[in-house]
Amino acid sequence: MLILCVHFQFLAVIQQNNMNQFIRIFFSFSITALLVILPLTTQARAESLAIVPRSALEWFNLGVEQIQHDQYEPALHDFTQAIELDSDFAEAYSNRCLVYIQLGDYIQATEDCSTALTLNLNNTEAYLNRGLAYHRLRNYSEAISEYNQVIERVQDDLRAYYNRGLSRFELQDFQGAIADYNQALNKSDRVSNRQQVEIYNDRGLARLMMGNFDGAIADFSLAINLDTNNHRAFYNRACACHRMGDLLSAVRDFTAALQLDPNHAEAYVNRGIIHHELGFQQAALSDLKAASKQFHQQGNRVAYQQTLALIERLQLLLRSWDDAIG
């Protein structure tokens, strides 16, 4: 998650829906496969798709293949065909739940996962996916309950700990979130570098929200050490430096974040704030104008209008200074 850290005196805070600021990875995306499916060449895949499946299992495996190629609408069709042929096919419901999540239909996702669990109460993937659907619906307490079910059955499932930490964060249980992120990191033998980067980022955010700026900066630095191209970590560390009053370090990290992601409007806003505080007014105006352009291109009308208002206020301030000098 990216936090918007503009908060200083003369400029108003740009309020945004936190859900739109998420740049985090949920590790619960996983598919149940009943047969070993090897990666297919383009030709082999085309040939397999040309064969009309006849059984529920064949439709199921075709759906798995579609997910592996990020083809979610065709996967939805395939799992539905499997379910029509076998209404007790628990794994098909579980995988279709995942497809609905990817398509943004979270209500239908919870229903499919519930059906899967009716058929198999120990289907941990269904609990994970239903937890993710609840999280996307902002029903964080229910999401936590789902992840608890996974942990009761598989105590070393790092995905359940990490996802539970995300939901606890949203409930402002930052200490609980940190404990879950620690549990996920303790599964180091199964945590990839990419996953570690995301966990360090999220643990850093929890520490930042608790006012532990040193701890937050340490976590964001660990993420950067693992991935020097992670713009999220640079942005978050810049926010922490800003909170600590280390303005030069904040400018450095916002600049690094923008070099990696030139379309990051919030980074322009925050760097503009600091440039104003440091007395670099033209640089501040330039950053705010760049931010307004990005917000406009993104269709974020509220942030765009608010940024224009900030630009006008800064311009008025500069004119009043010129008049005073004149």
**Residue 167 C-alpha from the chain's centroid:** 12
Model pLDDT, residue 13: 30
pLDDT of residue 319: 86
Which of the residues in the chain have pLDDT under 70?
A: 1-52, 322-323, 326
Q: How far apart are CA 5 and CA 13, in angstroms?
A: 8
End-to-end Cα separation, the chain, in angstroms = 47
Answer yes or no: are the C-beta atoms of 92 and 79 closer than 8 Å: yes
The pLDDT assigned to 301 comes to: 95
Which pLDDT does position 73 carry in this prediction?
97
Report how far Cα 235 is from the mean position of its chain's Cα atoms.
Answer: 14
d(CA 29, CA 147): 13
Confidence at residue 254, expressed as pLDDT on a 0 to 100 scale: 98
Q: How far apart are CA 19 and CA 62, in angstroms?
A: 33
For the chain, give every domain's residue range: 263-326
The H or E element that residue 87 is part of is none
Give the pair of three-digit tokens for residue 201.
Answer: 């980022």
Which pLDDT score is estimated for 53?
72
Give the integer Cα–Cα distance in Å for 222 and 208: 15
Task: Supply the pLDDT for residue 245.
Answer: 95
Residue 202, judged by CB atoms within 10 A of its CB (0-12, 13-18, 19+), counts as: buried
